[in-house]
């Protein structure tokens, strides 16, 4: 990992992330990488930031205030409801307990989520990895190697590159790639029968002749022989259009049908 | 073309892989990987995994241009140059043609 030139926010956030990740995983090497990768000033900032995040003043106060507010709200709800509402519901006391508990839990989650940079960093790492894995899942079983390939890509040149917005963009790019793979697969599947017709002379001839003959038969049945003579141009136009489609398709798909076989061995 | 340029100029001891292709060409991952997939399907390039696999990071997938791909790429480049030359060549003025 190349050491950053100045203690930018980028290096701070990522250094903190790597340190927490290393602490979480119990990996000593990452901590070493972090200490090598950031400057002294950045390290001081990290220490201050860690101390701030570990203060025990914000979280209990926020949680206690959340609990008080939630109890107040639930009491208010109880007061606003008609007295018969509670007495007629045998399990209404569940709500009296569940509302403050759930609200304080929600407050706990929000406060912790906002307070802890570590959580955000870990969430960022997991989000990016999840995006890459989702992309590999979308890409399908035929491309199982992509999971590892994209993991290596996200790991970067050093193999331990920190989380950054660039990585998020790359992960979104993986999603785009996966969708494009699927579109390509779908297009290939759609072209398969068309290619089969274009490659085979018999199928190509049938594709031209069958609709033309069917049109001719229809006209013959309804209009008689005179009708066929009259509509000969239209019937011919159908055949010509279909033949044009075959020729255009062969050119477009770069398909060459096999050479026609000789009628006899002498030829 | 950019991808093929990088693949053509990659030395065997330092083969190209996804991240490097993105860095050198300046294209995003959403462009590079579908291009690689199409080139693989066309047989212009081949892929292989890093061997031996490293212990501390995921294995990389390297790409290498095949002899067919090299030939086809040369032909395509020549055709493109000819098209460009024909496009840039001034059309003969009426009366000046001998």
Per-residue model confidence as pLDDT tens digits over A30-72: 445 555 555 554 555 555 455 444 444 455 666 677 667 777 7
In this structure, the strands spanning B45-49 and B16-17 are: unpaired
DSSP code, position A141: G
The pTM score is 0.57
More confident residue, A26 or A17: A17
Buried b (16+ CB within 10 A) or exposed e, A211-229: ebeebbeebeeeeeeeebe
Q: Could you tell me the strand order of the sheet in which B16-17 lies?
A: B16-17, B61-65, B45-49
Q: Do A173 and B28 touch (CB under 8 A)?
A: yes
Q: Is the dihedral of CA A33, A38, A40, A41 positive or negative?
A: negative
Both tokens of A233, joined, read 């141009």
Q: Mean pLDDT throughout B44-68? A: 89
B53 at A interface, C-beta within 8 A? no
Q: What are phi and psi of A231, to 5 degrees?
A: -95, 15
Q: How confident is the model at residue A165 (pLDDT cuts 50, 70, 90)?
A: confident
* Distance between CA atoms of residues A146 and B49, nearest Å: 11
* Distance between CA atoms of residues A249 and A246, nearest Å: 5
Both tokens of A146, joined, read 């992509």
* Distance between CA atoms of residues A28 and A13, nearest Å: 19
Residue entry with tokens 């061997």: B51
Residues in chain B: 98
Q: Measure the CA angle with vertex B60, ends B19 and A169; round to 5°.
A: 35
pLDDT value of residue A163? 75
ipTM surpasses cut 0.95: no
> Any long-range contacts for A204-211 (C-beta under 8 Å, 24+ apart)?
A204/A246, A204/A257, A207/A242, A207/A246, A208/A239, A208/A242, A208/A243, A208/A246, A209/A239, A211/A238, A211/A239, A211/A242
* Distance between CA atoms of residues A47 and A24, nearest Å: 17
Three-state DSSP state, B46: strand
Q: Is the peptide bond before B52 cis (omega within 30 degrees of 0)?
A: yes
Q: Do B58 and A177 touch (CB under 8 A)?
A: no
CA-based diameter of chain B, in Å? 75
| B38: Cβ contacts below 8 Å, ≥ 6 apart | A184
Is the pLDDT reported for residue A26 higher than 60? no
Instruction: Tell me the per-residue pLDDT of A1-16, one tens digit each, with 9 for 90 and over.
Output: 444 444 444 455 566 5
Both tokens of A24, joined, read 């979480």
Q: Do A170 and B33 touch (CB under 8 A)?
A: no
Instruction: Tell me the per-residue pLDDT of A68-86, one tens digit each, with 9 for 90 and over.
Output: 777 777 777 767 766 655 5
Average pLDDT of chain A to the nearest whole number: 73
More confident residue, A117 or A185: A185
Q: Are A51 and A181 in contact (CB under 8 A)?
A: no
B29 closest CA partner among A181, A145, A2: A181
Q: Do A159 and B57 touch (CB under 8 A)?
A: yes
- Counting one residue from A and one from B, how many pairs have CB atoms under 8 Å apart? 67
Contacts of A27 in chain B (CB under 8 A): none
Three-state DSSP state, B64: strand
Residue entry with tokens 């899942």: A137
Q: Are A142 and A187 in contact (CB under 8 A)?
A: no
Kindly identify which residue of chain B lies nearest to residue A27, measuring between CA atoms.
B56
Contacts of B54 in chain A (CB under 8 A): 159
């Amino acid at each position: 990992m190349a050491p950053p030139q100045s203690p930018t926010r980028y290096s701070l956030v990522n250094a903190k992330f790597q340190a927490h990740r290393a602490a979480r995983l119990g990996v000593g090497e990452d901590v070493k990488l972090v200490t090598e990768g950031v400057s002294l000033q950045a390290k001081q900032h990290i220490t201050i930031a860690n101390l701030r995040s570990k203060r025990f003043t914000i979280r209990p106060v926020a949680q206690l205030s959340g609990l008080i507010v939630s109890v107040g709200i639930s009491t208010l709800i109880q007061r606003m409801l008609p007295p018969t509402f509670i007495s007629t519901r045998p399990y209404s006391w569940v709500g009296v307990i569940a509302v403050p508990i759930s609200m304080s839990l929600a407050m706990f989650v929000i406060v912790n989520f906002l307070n802890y940079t570590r959580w955000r960093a870990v969430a960022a790492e997991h989000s990016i990895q999840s995006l890459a894995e989702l992309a590999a899942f979308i890409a399908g079983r035929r491309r199982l190697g992509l999971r590892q390939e994209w993991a290596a890509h996200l790991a970067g040149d050093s193999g331990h590159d920190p989380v950054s917005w660039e990585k998020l963009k790359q992960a979104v790019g993986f999603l785009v790639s996966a969708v494009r793979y699927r579109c390509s697969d779908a297009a290939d599947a759609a072209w398969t029968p068309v290619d089969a017709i274009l490659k085979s002379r018999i199928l190509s001839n049938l594709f031209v002749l069958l609709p033309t003959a069917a049109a001719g038969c229809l006209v013959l049945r309804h209009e008689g022989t005179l009708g066929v003579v009259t509509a000969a141009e239209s019937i011919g136009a159908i055949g010509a259009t279909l033949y044009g489609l075959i020729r255009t398709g062969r050119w477009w798909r770069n398909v060459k049908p096999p050479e026609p076989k000789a009628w006899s061995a002498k030829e | 073309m950019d991808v093929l340029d990088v693949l053509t100029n990659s030395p065997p001891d330092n083969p190209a892989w996804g991240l490097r292709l993105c860095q050198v060409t300046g294209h995003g991952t959403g462009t590079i990987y579908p291009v690689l997939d199409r080139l693989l399907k066309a047989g212009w390039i081949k892929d292989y995994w890093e061997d031996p696999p490293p212990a501390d990071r995921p294995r990389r997938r390297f790409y290498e241009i095949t002899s067919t791909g090299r030939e086809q790429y040369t032909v395509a480049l020549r055709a493109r140059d000819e098209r460009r030359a024909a496009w840039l060549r001034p059309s003969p003025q009426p009366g000046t043609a001998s």
